[in-house]
Amino acid sequence: MSAVEYELDGRVARLTLNRPERGNGITRGLVTELEQCVERADLDPAVHVLLLSGRGKGFCGGYDLVESAEGQGRLGDGGDAPQGSPLDPLVMAQNHNPADVWDPMVDYSMMSRNVRAFMSLFDCSKPVVCKVHGFCVAGGTDMALCSDLLVIAADAKIGYPPSRVWGSPTTSMWAYRLGSQRAKRLLFTGDSLTGAEALEWGLAIEAPAPEELDDRAELLVERIARMPVNQLQMMKLLVNQSLYSQGLHATQVIGTVFDGVARHTREGYDFQGLAAREGFREAVRQRDEPFGDYGR
């Protein structure tokens, strides 16, 4: 079963995250398939617009970190391994014994590959609309914010709680999408926005009621699809140049390095140690409970 389903529907390429039993949690396999699907749509002259969405209760709950956070000290000596095992490269990048020397390039090499995959949405020559329902948090926001337009259900949740401990947004899109002050407001607290708030802040282009989300997203992509594909490509490239010129790529290098650093601070090791002893969900509960938003 594919982690990302691809469907061609007239001029619309539909990319659907397909790990609902894990909240569409991000794995290396999912990232690889996402990049391949974006490339497939970009190269298909019949496609005018991409629609990215998630199956199940929410769009994406971030990286599937249960094993890497809980598996402290279980790393082997490398080599090939099944997805999600302690030898998975993603696990190795996020799981380090503090008694050993830390090589920051291990983290950077792995996570920078993921950034390139997420940025395939941004760099795709054709527009990408992201439809968000339920939740879009942590690493899931990398996919959403690298898309061109966000349609978010009014009651959905979007934000980056790992800014509280053990994470840094690797694609670093928050300031570019919200401006510096509002980006700081979210990243200084790890708070999330509802879809309605995301619309008010300018992050979402629409925030319909949950029961209207599908219809509103379909209307938008159908309208975009009427445009000549060459005009869409020119308009996207034109607008994207402003973000490139503001130093987006350089900012992403810093954000990706900081993501590795955040896992190797005293607080980062404490968080991972708690996850190893009591489980990842309990570590997240203790991280978020002081802010009053655990489970919301």
User: Per residue of the chain (296 residues), what is the pLDDT tens digit?
Assistant: 699 999 999 999 999 999 999 999 999 999 999 999 999 999 999 999 999 999 999 999 999 977 556 554 343 333 333 444 444 445 655 567 788 888 999 889 989 999 999 999 999 999 999 999 999 999 999 999 999 999 999 999 999 999 999 999 999 999 999 999 999 999 999 999 999 999 999 999 999 999 999 999 999 999 999 999 999 999 999 999 999 999 999 999 999 999 999 999 999 999 988 988 998 889 999 999 999 988 77
**Residues, the chain:** 296
On whether residue 40 sits in a domain, the answer given is yes
181: CATH: 3.90.226.10
What's the CA gap between 67 and 83, in Å, rounded?
11
Domain limits at 29? 4-291
| Residue 82 located in a structural domain | yes
Query: Is 144 within 8 Å of 158 (Cβ atoms)?
Result: yes
If you compute the radius of gyration of the chain from its CA atoms, what whole number of angstroms results? Answer: 19
> Would 250 be classed as within a structural domain?
yes
Beta bridge partner(s), residue 281: none
Could you give the number of structural domains in the chain?
Answer: 1
296 part of a folded domain: no
Q: Nearest 10 degrees: CA dihedral of 32, 52, 47, 239? A: -100
CB 157 within 8 A of CB 203: no
> pTM of the full predicted structure?
0.91
Rounded alpha-carbon distances, angstroms, from residue 252 to 169, 174, 259, 263: 9, 11, 10, 17
Residue 171 lies in a domain: yes
Cα(179)–Cα(165) distance, integer angstroms: 23
Residue 118 within any structural domain of the chain: yes
Q: Is residue 262 part of a domain?
A: yes
